[in-house]
Amino acid sequence: MRILPTGDRAVLVEVADRDARVALATHLRRDPPPGVLDVVEGAATVLVRTASADHLKRVVDDLRRIDDPRAATRAVTPAALDADAAAEVLLVPTTYDGPDLASLAQHLGESAEGLVARHTSMSWVVDFAGFLPGFGYLRPSDPGQPWPTVPRLATPRKRVPAGSVALAGGWTGIYPSASPGGWRLIGRTDLTTWDQFADVPAQLVPGRRVRFVERA
């Protein structure tokens, strides 16, 4: 692990891979050191926010005693964390008419219809959140069904409409609001995934299960 200071009350921990990140975050949530206020996961990072500089020092001392995050969590696995966090499946009605659908399907060596069928047949889970408020990075929930690596656009679009369903890397995402973006757009949904005034602002929280449903 690599421990990086982030202000006087937080620390960013870089880990080797997703499994280590999930294990470390699970450990910190299930048995948090005194003063830990928040644990935020990234692709291969864990941000730990504390109540004070003194609490942060103790957290850092605890982290330095961990040689392997996976060993420190009593063999907690990503699958176990997903099971703990799994919520009701969120159905996303999607119109597959995105401007990148045809070219991306061709790049992957299949028809647009085939790409849509594969996308809707899979179960997805929110791995972590980032980029924008309410933006969840969705990965296949079944490790035996990997998703092909999708290249980002060489030149990002200046404006991607809210509700755009997109692909990049091994993830699927839904743009919660209009913004610039370089992901490949394959469709759109009217589902609101982010409402800052709601009691629960984000629909796509880590661990949430998601299925895309094709809409004419």
Q: How far apart are CA 201 and CA 89, in angstroms?
A: 17
Dihedral pair phi/psi, residue 56, rounded to 5°: -60, -40
What CATH number labels 2-83?
3.30.1360.40
Q: Find the mean pLDDT for residues 160-188.
A: 97
DSSP 131-177: SSTT-EEEEESSTTSPPPPBPPPSS-EEEE-TTEEEEEBTEEEE-SS
Domain ranges for the chain, please list them: 2-83, 86-214
pLDDT score at 55 = 93
Confidence of residue 78 (pLDDT cuts 50, 70, 90): very low
- Whether the predicted pLDDT of 109 surpasses 90: yes
Give the pLDDT score at 167: 98
Residue 173's Cβ-count burial label (10 Å; 0-12, 13-18, 19+) is: buried
3 state DSSP class of 33: coil
For residue 27, the model assigns a pLDDT of 87
78 beta partners: none
CA–CA separation, 181 and 158 (whole Å)? 7
User: Residue 80: pLDDT band by 50, 70, 90 thresholds?
Assistant: very low
- pLDDT tier, 35 (very low <50, low <70, confident <90, very high otherwise): very high
- pLDDT range class, residue 84, cuts 50, 70, 90: very low
pLDDT of residue 143: 80
- Average pLDDT for residues 134-151, to the nearest whole number? 91
Please report the pLDDT score of residue 71 as a whole number.
Answer: 61
Region 175-199 average pLDDT: 96
Q: Where is pLDDT greater, at 152 or 27?
A: 152
Sign of CA dihedral 181, 185, 188, 192: negative
CB of 138 closer than 8 Å to CB of 166:
no
Kindly report the CATH number that applies to the domain delimited by 86-214: 2.40.100.10
Mean pLDDT of the chain: 89
Task: Give the pTM.
Answer: 0.78
Q: How many residues does the chain have?
A: 216
Instruction: Tell me which residue has tokens 């975050």.
Output: 25
| Helix (H), strand (E) at residue 84 | helix 78-85
